[in-house]
Amino acid sequence: MKGITPVGLLAMVFCSVPALAQDSGVSFSHKNWEVVCDNTLTCRAAGYSPEEGQGGSVLLTRKAGAGSAVTGKVMLAEVDEGESTPVAQLALWINGQPAGALTPTKNDDWQLSQQQTQRLVAAIKGSGKVEFKGGPEPFVISGDGAYAVLLKMDDVQGRIGTPGALTKKGDKPESSVLAAIPAPVIQKVKTASAQPRPLTAPELKILKPQLLATLGGDDMCDNLSDSQEQGDSQMPGDNEVTLQPLDNSHSLISALCWRAAYNEGYGYWVIDKSLAGKPVLVTTSGSDYTDGEISESQKGRGIGDCWWNASWVWDGAAFRKSHEGGTGSCRYLRLGGTWDLPLWVAQVKPVQ
């Protein structure tokens, strides 16, 4: 995106983004702004202070569908716990003029009113100055990249050329705006409570080639290869491959696949109870399996200010993806991440 002019941005054509969002979500970033649209076509755009570790971040959320409004929240930087003084009031200033106080929420962030959100959007997509006062020190939300990100949001939701577009408004009817896509429904089922056991040497000899055959694309599982190929990076238990019953017909195979500086990934495969069928890969970046749910949690960098998370739920036939997304850019604003920016969401019904 470097060097693209406003005219060039207006001329950009995004290829079939609604279909892409329905399949796997859409993400896009430019300078100090990013947007993530999930599979329901809800879009969340996050903007940041120009300097890492200072100020805070703004989150703009808009659901799909005609006439839907944009909502806004603000998160203050708070990395050094215990050293900051609680903020009693936070106020919005636009172009040097007060625009009212924000409302604190139970989620440790601040809610913008509808009018404040509209004024903020108008300012950041142009040359306006958006500032927040009341925290440890006043901070400005950068407008660099905002227009490109809002344009992407409009495009994913089919709003370009309509009166409700945030960027390129027009007279196309609001009825042409894409409707929200229902989130998939997953019925979670009860799983077996048996503990995992290591695969025996004969089982492993048969299954290892089959497990490796499931890998493709970005998937990798170095620790399934022969131990002499692992070098000094091995630790006790790295090569252990375990088997755990899921139900009366299925079992779950697990193996450590890779280890990096501050992350590691486990592979999980579903196989029939008799171990006679072909294993089906769920992920090679898992972190844990508990009660019918595989979870993944990976740091974006060592200090843990940005994360990537995913989960898969067992429905009796397969593990289905129930969540996937990150916490936003690595900006040293909050340990554990700043926002929840999902690419994929689902409605999980509890075990009946």
Report pLDDT for 3.
Answer: 39
Report pLDDT for 258.
Answer: 95
Report pLDDT for 79.
Answer: 81
Q: What is the pLDDT of residues 73-103, one digit of tens each?
A: 999 999 875 556 789 999 999 999 999 999 9
Residues 6+ apart with CB under 8 A from 161: 168, 169, 170, 171, 172
H-helix or E-strand spanning residue 147 = helix 146-156
* Residue 145 bridge partners (DSSP): none
Sorting pLDDT into bands at 50, 70 and 90, what band is 19? Answer: low
Q: What is the pLDDT of residues 122-144, one digit of tens each?
A: 999 999 999 999 998 999 999 99
Let me know: does 320 contact 313? Beta carbons within 8 Å.
yes
Residues 6+ apart with CB under 8 A from 337: 305, 306, 307, 326, 327, 328
Tell me which of 246 and 23 has the higher pLDDT: 246
Report pLDDT for 5.
Answer: 36
Report pLDDT for 297.
Answer: 98
Report pLDDT for 310.
Answer: 98
Mean pLDDT confidence for 250-266: 96
Report pLDDT for 86.
Answer: 83
* Residue 198 bridge partners (DSSP): 242
Return the percentage of the chain with pLDDT > 90, whole number. 83
Report pLDDT for 61.
Answer: 98
Sorting pLDDT into bands at 50, 70 and 90, what band is 223? Answer: confident
Please, how many CA atoms are within 13 Å of residue 351, restricted to the half-sphere of its CB? 10
Return the percentage of the chain with pLDDT > 70, whole number. 89
Q: Is 52's pLDDT higher than 80?
A: yes
Residues 6+ apart with CB under 8 A from 80: none
Q: Model-level pTM?
A: 0.90
Specify the CATH number of the domain 6-182: 2.60.40
Measured CA to CA, the distance from residue 192 to residue 160 in angstroms comes to 50
Mean pLDDT confidence for 199-215: 96
Q: What is the pLDDT of residues 162-176, one digit of tens each?
A: 999 999 999 999 999
Sorting pLDDT into bands at 50, 70 and 90, what band is 17? Answer: low
- b vs e for 246-273, b when ≥16 Cβ sit within 10 Å of the residue's Cβ? beeebbbbbbbbbeeeebbbbbbbbbee
Tell me which of 237 and 32 has the higher pLDDT: 32
Report pLDDT for 84.
Answer: 63
Sorting pLDDT into bands at 50, 70 and 90, what band is 235? Answer: low
Mean pLDDT confidence for 235-247: 84
- Per the prediction, the chain carries an average pLDDT of 91
Spell out the domain ranges in the chain: 6-182, 186-349
CA angle, residues 26, 306, 154, in degrees to nearest 5? 25
